[in-house]
Structure 1
């Protein structure tokens, strides 16, 4: 299905099922069907967000300021013959829109806040559970694997990310979770869509060791214009021993299918933390994302973090989100440490990052990019009401970084958010 989508097909199938039900089912089955439709569950959420961003770039763009409201309406039907349906409608309304939304509808002379206004069906899928210990989702859906490092929903942004496709999760083998998925369209945070010739996902998790989880994965991306055809293979281990927690993952990436580029790159992430008590924890980690291997080859590419929730990693100022798409030519070596404090129902997290390059293939650059200090305070204010304040300060350490083409991390930046989240 090159230009058509699974999403449209599932809506047509669902409509046909409703119209033809009286002709193909006995009366009791018809009653059960309509009970499943009418006896479902509604839910909703409202997220009010204010964001301020000031990037000290040579273009002299004005700081960005945005206030918006995201509303989501959800409905999940009851089960009928082991099948249920879910739909999620979303609207984002910008109240204050003094920013560049990267879609052409806002002010290009200001800094970027990637929250374009609009409405869409964010998720709509059928959920099949008639096979024992197996769930099949067919339609538009969010796909989140592991810690979002390669595949996530980019849930921090107001418009998030979803895919049109089918996913299968099976738990019939003791202590093993098997996942397989296919998508032919990405629905982006900019309310645009990217058609894919095919994105195949295979993931296996073993949970048989108490307190530990081991995973192996293979992601095969066939892009429509053959400029991002990639095979990514990896392993991940997370767990906790007494007070000590850890997370380690490794991935290797190579070109695949009709790729017009040459890729042979690696990614490594490691984290070690200690929960000193119920209120206080500390940790430190390193993230290594390999850059371009051959400075003389225009076709050579760095490691591509695919469809990750990049904001979660490598600093909240989003200086290095170019790892999605593989555009961080000189790679990234991120050393970081964090402190988490929980007190009176509030959670405060402090993070420090030191960013270095891994390669010197562009502009002769082989030095540190910069460092960053991040702060997050989040608190449940009432049963279904949560508030947060978040701040990121990125400090450029080497001005030559800003002069090198294709190199991120060139300019100082301050970003501030405050949000109120209500669920019903």
Structure 2
């Protein structure tokens, strides 16, 4: 019954869709010097969680709306944006950590989409073809978001109070950020977990060498709150990507990364561990297949952590490894995965119709544990400025956590 009701709720806006949002994304010209670009986007989503434990199944029907505007004059712009999330069906636990909030419902499985009304972004930017400087509360997505991202999958976005500078000169690029606060996805009722203060340096230097893009990076995180002292770390590494033509219309996509992470500042744990990632994919017309391996290494009972990442993009959509396992007996994570995706361009009634499936095998880095396996699948399409998505994640536990199944049905719109 919940599936039927959720499907009906998501289908209704499509049935009523009209050209009222003419020319989505076009700024409004106020004068020869000034334009205003309205920001309106929303997401209605049902998330269902079923776990093999004593917790009740979670059903979260939430609506997220962002609204604001960007004012531009020549190379200068001012952007202001607020966001709000409403729980229509709140049979879920919004907080996995202790909290006096009514949104912590420990009898249910966790869905980390708490109700929230908050300032999302407020930034001033100067931008030319070669230089960009952004000051204020802003969205930061670096590379594939493995180390720093906006966590766009969750209803409440992660943003940063920061100064960011970007420079592009020929084949060389520089991206440097100094941040004093990380605003999490947990919202206004999360107490000290609403935002983590500290001193965070995020730096990268890239170069394009023929068909290969190479970037060296350094992420130095010094958290000031005791609850996240263990996330203070220094990470130095390199990432390389390339796309190579094959026979006919085929292309080979390659990506690889290596980093070394160790404790820093207030982190009480002493460790130095490796991060390794490698991925290869072949795309032929509408079909793409890929295989990859990722290792978050461990040392001295502690493991590589990525507390600023868009974690849902990595290690399975069931989100079993948002924190890399770390115990005296076993620690770290190895993720071997393979998948395929297809774009159904011949289905004209559903523009952008696409499907994807991925398989993961999870093992520890130390201790010889086979954590479990996971299948992920998705199906999506667009109708004008609306996008519909259905997703499934099924984690089969072996030596870690419990078997978990998640299902999402989602409608997004943007102006």
Q: TM-score, normalised by structure 2?
A: 0.83
- Do structure 1's residue 164 and structure 2's residue 170 form an aligned pair? no
Q: Which residue of 2 aligns with 1:294?
A: 300
Find the partner of 1:73 among 55, 67, 71. 67
Once the two structures are superposed, residues 291-326 of structure 1 have per-residue CA deviations (whole angstroms, 9 ceiling, x without a partner) of 2x225xxxxx211113111110100000111139x7
Structure 2 residue matching 1:68: 3-state secondary structure: strand
Please say if residues 185 and 193 of structure 1, whose CA atoms lie closer than 8 Å, have aligned partners that are also in contact.
no
Superposition pairs of residues 21-420 of structure 1, within 5 angstroms: 39-57=35-53, 60-79=54-73, 82-102=75-95, 104-106=101-103, 107-129=105-127, 133-171=130-168, 173-191=169-187, 192-210=193-211, 212-224=212-224, 225=226, 226-242=229-245, 243-275=251-283, 277-291=284-298, 293-295=299-301, 301-323=302-324, 330-343=331-344, 344=347, 345-360=352-367, 366-380=368-382, 382-397=383-398, 401=399, 409-420=400-411
Please say if residues 58 and 91 of structure 2, whose CA atoms lie closer than 8 Å, have aligned partners that are also in contact.
yes
Please say if residues 263 and 303 of structure 1, whose CA atoms lie closer than 8 Å, have aligned partners that are also in contact.
no
In structure 2, relative to structure 1, the CA distance for the partners of 1:39 and 1:282 (3 Å cut) is: closer
Report the Cα offset of residue 195 of structure 1: 3.5
Give distance in 2, aligned partners of 1:55 and 1:348.
25
Give distance in 2, aligned partners of 1:321 and 1:223.
18
Give distance in 1, aligned partners of 2:327 and 2:49.
22
Please say if residues 35 and 78 of structure 1, whose CA atoms lie closer than 8 Å, have aligned partners that are also in contact.
no
Give distance in 1, aligned partners of 2:196 and 2:47.
30
Give distance in 2, aligned partners of 1:310 and 1:227.
18
Give distance in 2, aligned partners of 1:50 and 1:37.
43
Please say if residues 241 and 256 of structure 2, whose CA atoms lie closer than 8 Å, have aligned partners that are also in contact.
yes
Please say if residues 66 and 96 of structure 1, whose CA atoms lie closer than 8 Å, have aligned partners that are also in contact.
yes
In structure 2, relative to structure 1, the CA distance for the partners of 1:97 and 1:37 (3 Å cut) is: farther
Give distance in 2, aligned partners of 1:70 and 1:272.
35
Give distance in 2, aligned partners of 1:370 and 1:257.
34
Greater radius of gyration (CA): 1
After TM superposition, the structure 1 stretch with the greater mean CA deviation from structure 2, 185-194 or 369-378, is: 185-194
Superposition pairs of residues 11-26 of structure 1, within 5 angstroms: none
Once the two structures are superposed, residues 189-237 of structure 1 have per-residue CA deviations (whole angstroms, 9 ceiling, x without a partner) of 1014333330001111212423x32111001111114543311001001
Unaligned runs of at least 5 residues, structure 1: 1-33, 296-300, 361-365, 402-408
Please say if residues 139 and 158 of structure 2, whose CA atoms lie closer than 8 Å, have aligned partners that are also in contact.
yes
Give distance in 2, aligned partners of 1:335 and 1:113.
26
Report the Cα offset of residue 412 of structure 1: 0.5
Unaligned runs of at least 5 residues, structure 2: 1-29, 188-192, 246-250
Q: CA RMSD in A?
A: 2.0
Q: TM-score, normalised by structure 1?
A: 0.81
Q: Which residue of 1 aligns with 2:16?
A: none
Report the Cα offset of residue 346 of structure 1: 1.0
Please say if residues 43 and 65 of structure 2, whose CA atoms lie closer than 8 Å, have aligned partners that are also in contact.
yes
Runs of 4+ in 1 over 6 A off after TM superposition: none
Give distance in 2, aligned partners of 1:113 and 1:228.
22
Q: Which residue of 2 aligns with 1:4?
A: none
